[in-house]
């Protein structure tokens, strides 16, 4: 890790219909974040906990996220062509 500086963790969790289903994953990520933060590892200065997306950001914030990803809310739904790999 001589050339890396870890500043945060990010999780999206599995794809679920109800955002409440992500709560245990967000909670576990927050626990890992706090544990790593307390271990004083060199090149690790955890400041960012990025969890949640447009459909789950409220639950993520309740579980400790200080960064969320809101693409769909801002840009709208996207059409994916699964025949072309995405």
Q: What is the pTM of this model?
A: 0.82
Answer whether residue 44 is part of any domain.
Answer: yes
Contact 64, 49 (CB under 8 A): yes
Tokens of 54: 């447009």
| DSSP-H helix ranges across the chain | 23-38, 57-62, 71-75
Q: Could you read off the pLDDT tens digit of each residue along the chain, which spans 86 residues?
A: 678 899 999 998 888 889 999 999 999 999 999 999 999 888 899 999 999 999 999 999 999 999 999 988 888 888 877 777 65
Domain that holds residue 31: 6-79
| Count of domains forming the chain | 1
61: DSSP letter: H
Q: How far is CA 45 from the centre of its chain?
A: 17
Answer whether residue 86 is part of any domain.
Answer: no
Answer whether residue 43 is part of any domain.
Answer: yes
Answer whether residue 85 is part of any domain.
Answer: no
């Amino acid at each position: 890790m001589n050339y890396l500086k870890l500043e945060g963790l990010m999780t999206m969790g599995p794809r679920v219909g109800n955002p409440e289903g992500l709560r245990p994953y967000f909670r576990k990520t927050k626990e890992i974040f706090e544990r790593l933060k307390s271990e004083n590892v060199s090149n690790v200065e955890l400041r960012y906990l990025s969890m949640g997306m447009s459909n789950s950001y409220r639950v993520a914030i309740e579980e400790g996220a200080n960064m969320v990803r809101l693409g769909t809310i801002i840009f709208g739904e996207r059409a994916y062509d699964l025949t072309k790999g995405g």
